[in-house]
């Protein structure tokens, strides 16, 4: 009997313990991130020894040519509390540097509940939980805060994570949108850059996620997927010691949710390795997919272009 392929070679998406379907996995992940949101930033910085900031900054710099174009629309997918969004913002031009046509009527964001393919409305409309902050409310249009420069779109489906991100975005040209990464309320061919930092791994279906990114990107648009990787050799052994033994205990203690920090190393172990991720990206219709190793292969950046 032929040996079964390792899980990272056959996984189709995130599968927290107890989840058997895409829907179960998505609901589990959403609840988990809502729960750990209050301590998420602290744990990110402490558990990564501050390296996470360098990863975000390095990834953002690599897309500087796109980000410096004032009309370019960038999307931070699975933005969490917004640190990657703010790293992207550092490379956006200021209003004093550029003037481009007013973006108030651009057809980027569709109405929630309406088919993105057929929508020409640059609005988000949603029913918010009573007393909860409103993200991308119907009164706000693309470019309202700074009509000369397209805003960065920050998308996440965890309300608690996005609430904390919205506090950071308040004084910036950033539009928070509460939405599912597999069903984005965005028009076809409307985005120039999609970047996801440590969030793509948590999607319940990787192929569906890549297909959705391909749909919303303009021809010539690029994706950047920054995520963890399982290194090999001595580096892998040391990585596993920290990631599977120390991190779950420390993270669970501080966050109050041990399961979330057991899920983290498990999700990395089952996430496709670079060779397979590059294959999935190419199969989704992207060209020139690459992977750049960060910090001895413990993380890395996938890049590709929509032809």
Provide the pLDDT for residue 70.
Answer: 96
What is the per-residue pLDDT across 37-84, written as a single tens digit (0 to 9) for each? 999 998 888 888 889 999 999 999 999 999 999 999 999 999 999 999
Provide the pLDDT for residue 257.
Answer: 85
Contact 125, 114 (CB under 8 A): no
CA distance 71 to 213: 19
Provide the pLDDT for residue 61.
Answer: 98
In order along its 307 residues, the chain shows pLDDT tens digits of 456 788 888 889 999 988 999 999 999 999 999 999 999 998 888 888 889 999 999 999 999 999 999 999 999 999 999 999 999 999 999 865 544 433 333 455 543 334 444 444 333 333 343 334 445 433 344 444 455 899 999 999 999 999 999 999 999 999 999 999 999 999 999 999 999 999 999 999 999 999 999 999 999 999 999 999 999 899 889 988 988 888 888 888 878 888 888 898 899 999 999 999 999 999 999 999 999 999 999 999 999 999 9
Q: Would strands 191-197 and 217-228 be described as parallel, antiparallel, or unpaired?
A: parallel
Q: What is Dmax (Cα atoms) for the chain?
A: 67
User: CB-side exposure of 55: number of CA atoms within 13 Å?
Assistant: 29
Spell out the SS3 assignment of 49-90.
Answer: CCHHHHHHHHHHHHCHHHHCCCCCCEEEECCCCCHHHHHHHC
Query: Which residues, in sequence order, are bridge partners of residue 225?
Result: 196, 302
Q: Closest Cα to residue 33, out of 197, 259, 226? A: 259
Q: Which conformational region is residue 295 in: left (phi greater than 0), alpha (psi within -120 to 50 degrees), or beta? A: left
Q: What is the pTM (predicted TM-score) of this model?
A: 0.85
CA distance 80 to 94: 25
Provide the pLDDT for residue 88.
Answer: 98
Residue with tokens 């920050």: 154
CA distance 184 to 302: 21
- Percent of the chain whose pLDDT exceeds 70: 82
CA distance 254 to 54: 23
User: CB-side exposure of 265: number of CA atoms within 13 Å?
Assistant: 21
Residue 147 to residues 78, 144, 209, 238, 277, Cα–Cα distance (Å): 25, 6, 30, 49, 37
Provide the pLDDT for residue 134.
Answer: 43
User: CB-side exposure of 256: number of CA atoms within 13 Å?
Assistant: 8
């Amino acid at each position: 009997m032929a040996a079964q392929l390792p899980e990272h070679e056959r996984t189709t998406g995130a599968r927290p313990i107890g989840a058997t379907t895409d829907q179960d996995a998505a609901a589990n992940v959403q609840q988990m991130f809502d729960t750990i949101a209050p301590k998420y930033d602290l744990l990110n910085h402490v558990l990564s020894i501050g390296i996470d900031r360098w990863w975000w900054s390095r990834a953002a710099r690599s897309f500087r040519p796109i980000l410096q174009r004032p009309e370019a629309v960038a999307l931070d997918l699975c933005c969490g509390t917004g640190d990657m969004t703010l790293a992207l913002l550092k490379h956006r031009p200021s209003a004093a540097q550029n003037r481009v046509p007013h973006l108030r009527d651009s057809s980027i964001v569709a109405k929630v509940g309406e088919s993105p393919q057929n929508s020409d409305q640059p609005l988000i409309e949603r029913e918010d939980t009573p007393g909860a902050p409103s993200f991308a409310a119907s009164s706000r249009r693309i470019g309202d805060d700074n009509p000369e420069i397209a805003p960065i779109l920050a998308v996440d489906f965890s309300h608690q994570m996005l609430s904390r991100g919205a506090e950071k975005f308040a004084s910036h040209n950033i539009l928070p949108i509460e939405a599912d990464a597999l069903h984005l309320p965005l028009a076809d061919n409307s985005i120039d850059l999609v970047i996801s930092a440590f969030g793509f791994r948590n999607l319940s279906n990787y192929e569906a996620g890549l297909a959705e990114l391909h749909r919303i990107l303009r021809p010539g648009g690029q994706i950047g997927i920054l995520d963890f990787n399982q290194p090999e050799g001595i580096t892998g052994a040391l990585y596993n010691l920290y990631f599977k033994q120390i991190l779950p205990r420390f993270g669970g203690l501080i966050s109050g949710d041990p399961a979330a920090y057991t899920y983290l190393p498990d999700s990395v172990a089952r996430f496709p390795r670079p060779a397979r991720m590059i294959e999935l990206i190419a199969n989704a219709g992207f060209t020139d997919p690459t992977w750049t190793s960060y910090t001895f292969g413990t993380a890395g950046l996938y890049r590709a272009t929509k032809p």
